[in-house]
């Protein structure tokens, strides 16, 4: 890369987009060349099985602005974004899809919003060009659930077209389907978030990577994210609370066992069951305390883990 300082990094996850990738590169380059800022385009090949990688390599030989990261396998969109964010050198980072449905012409508008003092600018596909039953309706339901759980009020949490300040996006770790929840994760870092209406185009080439199984993965990630948001700062409080509940039941069982021991009219088999229950509750109490201490240790000393394996990085 010739520039000593990069102003803008555009990160795009790519998977089997051989018909789209060249057109995408051209449209992004056309927009970025009009801006008076140095830039780089980072395309992360998420284990494509078609000609996507060979097309990217051919383009890269002609343009030093393009950087390519190739995964050894298909690790998913969140991992691809995480790799792109990790490699990004720009002061501002723009993320978008590689299927040409996001419009690169919206990039200057997102960057302008960042200049107004925001840390995260999320796109809103107000006039979305997708099928109603399979995509738009489930998306609206998911948006309502995600917003109610995370407390981040956005119309379109699933839009990949977003812009970030480097200091915010570099602190976020992604796995599973967490790319959908980047604004919520950024909120934990104290980020100032806004939303702008962006253009959304119908897919012309290739097939959508969306399937119904992703819905279940999103639900599971949302559940874990809910706990993450509430107890990130001090997980020991959460597990300590569970330990107190367990100890409370252990004390109740101990009192009841003592009553049975002193009163011979009770069935002795009930006493044996209570002894087993007391033992289990005490063990559970110490397990919750241990997990809480371990979680607190991870939060305070843990390092970011990469959930992908890079095969080749071409700079």
Does 300 score more than 80 pLDDT? no
Q: What are phi and psi of 86, to 5 degrees?
A: -65, -40
The whole-number average pLDDT for the span 179-200 is: 87
Alpha helices (runs of H) in the chain, residue ranges in sequence order = 21-32, 52-60, 77-87, 107-115, 137-150, 166-169, 182-188, 213-231, 235-262, 268-301
Show the CA angle centred on residue 163, arms to residues 159 and 168, nearest 5°. Answer: 115
Can you tell me the distance from the alpha carbon of 82 to that of 172, in angstroms, rounded to the nearest whole number? 8
Q: Which of 74-83, 132-141, 251-260 is the least confident region?
A: 132-141
Residue 200 DSSP class: B
Q: Which residues, 6 or more positions from 175, have their beta carbon under 8 angstroms from its beta carbon?
A: 78, 79, 82, 307
Specify the higher pLDDT residue, 148 or 258: 258
User: For strand 6-14 and strand 90-95, is the pairing parallel, antiparallel, or unpaired?
Assistant: parallel
The whole-number average pLDDT for the span 39-56 is: 95
Does 46 score more than 90 pLDDT? yes
pTM value > 0.75: no
Smallest Cα–Cα separation from 200: which of 124, 269, 252? 124
Q: Which residues, 6 or more positions from 200, have their beta carbon under 8 angstroms from its beta carbon?
A: 101, 102, 103, 125, 126, 127, 128, 129, 130
Does 1 score more than 50 pLDDT? no
Cα separation values, 125 from 32, 163, 201, 257, Å: 22, 15, 9, 62
Specify the higher pLDDT residue, 17 or 310: 17
Q: Is residue 177 within 8 Å of 221, Cβ to Cβ?
A: yes
pLDDT in tens, 94-120: 999 999 999 999 999 999 999 999 999
Q: Is the Cα dihedral 212, 131, 24, 88 positive or negative? A: negative
Residue with the two structure tokens 């599971």: 220
Does 12 score more than 80 pLDDT? yes
**Is 44 in a helix, a strand, or coil?**
strand
Does 3 score more than 50 pLDDT? no
Does 246 score more than 60 pLDDT? yes
Hey, what are 88's tokens? 């990004």
Q: Is residue 74 within 8 Å of 62, Cβ to Cβ?
A: no
Does 212 score more than 60 pLDDT? no
User: For strand 162-165 and strand 310-314, is the pairing parallel, antiparallel, or unpaired?
Assistant: unpaired
Ramachandran region of residue 176, left (φ > 0), alpha (ψ -120 to 50) or beta? left
Give me the chain's average pLDDT, please.
83
The whole-number average pLDDT for the span 161-166 is: 96
């Amino acid at each position: 890369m010739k520039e000593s300082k990069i102003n803008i990094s555009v990160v795009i996850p790519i998977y089997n987009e051989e018909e789209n990738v060249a057109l995408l590169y051209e449209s992004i380059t056309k927009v970025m060349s009009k801006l008076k800022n140095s830039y780089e385009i980072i395309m992360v090949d998420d284990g494509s099985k078609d000609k996507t990688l060979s097309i990217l390599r051919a383009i890269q030989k002609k343009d030093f602005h393009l950087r390519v990261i190739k995964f050894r396998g298909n690790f998913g969109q969140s991992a691809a974004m995480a790799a792109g964010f990790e490699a990004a050198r720009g002061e501002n980072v723009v993320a978008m899809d590689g299927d040409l449905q996001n419009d690169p012409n919206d990039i200057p508008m997102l960057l302008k919003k960042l200049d107004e003092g925001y840390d995260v600018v999320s796109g809103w596909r107000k006039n979305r060009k997708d099928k109603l039953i399979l995509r738009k309706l489930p998306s609206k339901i998911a948006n309502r659930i995600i917003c109610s759980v995370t407390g981040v009020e956005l119309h379109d949490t699933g839009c990949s077209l977003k812009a970030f300040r480097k200091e915010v996006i570099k602190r976020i770790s992604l796995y599973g389907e967490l790319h959908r929840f980047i604004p919520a994760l950024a909120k934990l870092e104290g980020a100032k978030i806004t939303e702008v209406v962006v253009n959304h185009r119908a897919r012309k080439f290739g097939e959508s990577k969306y399937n119904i199984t992703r819905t279940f993965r999103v639900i599971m990630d949302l559940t874990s994210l809910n706990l993450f948001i509430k107890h990130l700062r001090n997980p020991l409080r959460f597990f300590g609370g569970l330990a107190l509940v367990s100890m409370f039941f252990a004390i109740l069982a101990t009192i009841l066992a003592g009553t049975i021991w002193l009163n011979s009219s009770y069935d002795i088999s009930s006493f044996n069951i209570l002894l087993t229950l007391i033992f289990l509750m005490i063990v559970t109490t110490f397990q919750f305390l241990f997990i809480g201490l371990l979680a607190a240790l991870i939060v305070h000393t843990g390092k970011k883990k990469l959930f992908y394996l890079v095969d080749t990085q071409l700079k």
